[in-house]
């Protein structure tokens, strides 16, 4: 997988998250990773400063405006 368009990326993440959240054993052991994968949170700790900063701003906008990324 070299590059995915937004729709394909969303489907891929959704297809990974659904079984992970459905399996209680996986969910209990990987809950922090699942939460990070669900949104922009994973990008907030990137070593690339401008991407991490943009992710922090985007995360705050998602919270402030109650944006549902699944829309």
Closest CA to 39 of 68, 8, 6: 68
Return d(Cα 27, Cα 20) in angstroms, integer: 6
pTM of the prediction? 0.49
Residues 29-67: tens digit of each pLDDT: 888 888 777 777 667 777 778 878 888 888 888 889 988
Residues 11-22: tens digit of each pLDDT: 787 888 889 889
Q: Are 40 and 55 in contact (CB under 8 A)?
A: yes
Return d(Cα 9, Cα 45) in angstroms, integer: 20
Q: Are 55 and 67 in contact (CB under 8 A)?
A: no
């Amino acid at each position: 997988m070299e590059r995915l368009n937004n729709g394909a990326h969303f489907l891929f993440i959704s297809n990974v998250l659904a079984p992970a959240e459905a399996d209680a054993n996986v969910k209990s052991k990987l809950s922090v990773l699942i939460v990070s994968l669900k949104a922009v949170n994973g990008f907030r700790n990137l070593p690339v400063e401008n991407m991490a900063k943009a992710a922090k701003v985007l995360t705050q906008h998602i919270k402030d405006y109650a944006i549902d990324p699944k829309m």
